Structure formats: structure tokens, C-alpha cells
Structure 1
Amino acid sequence: MQEKLRIRMMELMSSTQEDVLAGVGPRLRALRRARNTTLADLATETDLTASTLSRLENGKLRPTLEQLLPLARAHGVPLDDLVAAPPTGDPRIHLKPVRRFGLTVVPLTRRAGGVQAYKVIYPPARRAPTMKLHTHEGYEWFYVLNGHVRFVLGDQEFHLGPGEAAEFDTRVPHWLGSADTHPAELLTLFGPQGERAHLSRPNNQPLEVGNDGRLAGY
């Protein structure tokens, strides 16, 4: 994986290297300030020195892949966002992330109504807003892509890691957040009118949902 990212970086910088590098510093500074994070705090998260981070943000140091990887993880954004990679995939689809209540949300669907899909990045636990259970109409299913999640549903609490999933009625008081010092990345399906995602096992047997809200087999 790291070798693929290294090749990607070389491809991005081959033709317009100076233009790409010139924009990295301001983007790093904007991301850090958006999270209300100091250079000292970011240094602790990334194992880079505050001096190195300052020089990167001021454009006085040429960034390397080894520096950008921990920064992308700390800020909870794809590496391409740091180096302003050109759009890929279907040019008609632009997945523009938005920030809501400290979360980074990337809409994955473009149709009105029905089940909506999102990629959601939760900040590290110490950066998360104070836990407050909330309710609203709808039904939600989520799958943990990276990190670990603390999931509170009613009077129950669960901790889920990569590859685990859960579904629940959002009218039940609930809260989701990262369970440790790293961002948590989730794939979420949400039915605002209570629509559910129809899932099945490879042998076409329906997935069973336990009383704890977790899917059997995950």
C-alpha cells in the first residue's frame, strides 16, 4: 500500500511539482486551524516535530510521503486532498466533503429520497464534542472501515472495530464517536423515512440482527 501511494505521489508531482507543493502548506494550515489544533498537539498525533510542521505549513520544507501520511490520518482526510490531486473516476460525480458538528461527511449518493450513503470520519476521541444522545426519524446501518468506534444505543454501549457493522432505529437515543486517539472512518447507509438496507449472506440467507443492534456474523 505504501509503495502504491509513493508511486501516486511521484505521478502527481512529475509535471506540476512546484504548483502542487506550493499549495500543500496552506491546506495543512487550514486543516489544523479548522480542528482548533496547535502545532504541539499535532506533533504528538503525528510523531513529527512542531518545527517540522511549522516549516511544512510555511512552505519552507518540501513534504515527503512519510510526513504526509500521518498528517492525512490525523486530519481525517484522503492523501489526495493534501496534494490537490486531480479528480478521478466519473467526472460527473464530485464527492465534496462537508464538515458538520466536528465530523467530515462525504455524500456518496446523488438521488433524492430513499436510502442515502455517506462516508463519515469521526475525529479522535479527545477532539470529539461532548457525548450527547440524540434521536431523529430514520434507520441507519454503518460499517467500520478504519479505526474503532464507541457506539451508544439507549442504555447499551458497544465498541466496534474494522469490519464490524451495526444497524439501528434512529428514534432510539444514540451516539457515535471514535473510541481512541485516531479518527474513525465509517460507511453509513441512512433511510430518513425508516427505509432499511436489504442485506443477505452469500447463500441468500437473510442477515440476523441481534438485540444489541449488531449484525450476526460481523
Structure 2
Amino acid sequence: MPSARGSRSGPAPKLGFVRRFGRTQRALHWVHAAAFFVLLATGVVLWLPALSVWVGRRSLVKEIHVWTAVAWAAAIALIIVSGDRKGLRADWREIERIDRDDRRWLLGRRAPQGRFNAGQKLNAIVTTAFALLFAASGVLLWLAVRDSRFRWDGPIVVHDALTLMSLALVLGHLYLALVHPTTRHALRGMTLGDVREDWARKHHPKWIEENERQTGV
């Protein structure tokens, strides 16, 4: 049975399934997702005056927002330091590699895909960039409350724009993960770690072929 490159942690997949994500990748995903929704909810309350008045206790909401961001950063760092760094590096190398088939896929043409299709690669790159920009602008906003030298419009404009773009991105992500019939099976990979081999062979044939070459199957 082939196993996914970069997904080395965890038990062997069941018969008819192939390992797609290990514990480290799944922990990163779910920590980021949980923090994102808490930050989004509290951020919207802080952003919209009417909602802020309705919810009340704005200072508490702000504290939750700030400390969730701190916990998110600490948890991400801990997972990376203590987890499968070799697998994460392999994942990122694959995500960064946009080949001819990926470019064809992005143009709407049929093209075989690897473990990450071109859309998933772009999503990972954009999500990472957004996370770094959120963190940087958030730190500047936090400093601005304490030091007038940091009070300028740039960080809040960036933070607000990122919120709107991230909301659009996550809605599309949720649709593909929960609703779309050909892609929602991928959610199993991020919850249990494995996916059906027949599904992977159909939607990610280059990944399966590479696994078979590596294992001699």
C-alpha cells in the first residue's frame, strides 16, 4: 500500500486507503482554523460599532482577540518545533513547485495533479502570506495603543483588507471541503489522515504514481 510523502506520522492507512496527512500537518490545520474563527468573530465585533454595542463588553472581546492571536502564534511555533519538520519541509517544497500541469489546471484545462492540486498550492501560499501579514499588522496595532509613534493608518487598512479577503477565501474553502461532491472527500485526509486510494488516483494521479515508483508497487 503506498503512503503519502511528507505524511510519515500516524498508523498505516486501512486497506484501500492512502495516507495523505500526518499528525503534524493536521494539527497545524486545525489550530489555525480554530484560531481563525475566534479571531474573525471577535474582530468583526470590534470592527462594527453597532455589533460592538449589541454584544457589549468591548474590552473583554478585545482581550479575547489579542490573546487568541498570541495563543495561535505560540501553538503554531510549538507544533513546528516539536512536530514532523522534515515532512513539513517536503510539503512546502511541493507547494512552492508550480509546474506545467499546475499552470494548465489554473487555466481551466484538464491536467494530472500531485498530492496538492494547483488550487490547494495557491491556497496554502496565500493563507501563509495572510497569516504573516495579519500577525505583523496586529502587532503594530497593539503597539499603537501603547505608543503614539506607531499610530498611522497603514496597519488598520491592511488588517481590515486581510479580513475581507480571508473571509472570501474561507467561504470558498468551506464549500469545497463540505459541499462540493468531488472535493469534499479530501476532508477525511485532514481529519483521519487518509483518503480512498481510488479517489486519490482519480484526482491526484501524479501523487499515486510517485508513491508507486518510490515503493516499487
Q: Same fold (TM over 0.5)?
A: no
Which TM bucket (shorter chain)?
A: under 0.3
* Higher normalized strand content (fraction of residues): 1
Structure with more contact order per residue of length (Cα contacts < 8 Å, sep ≥ 6): 2
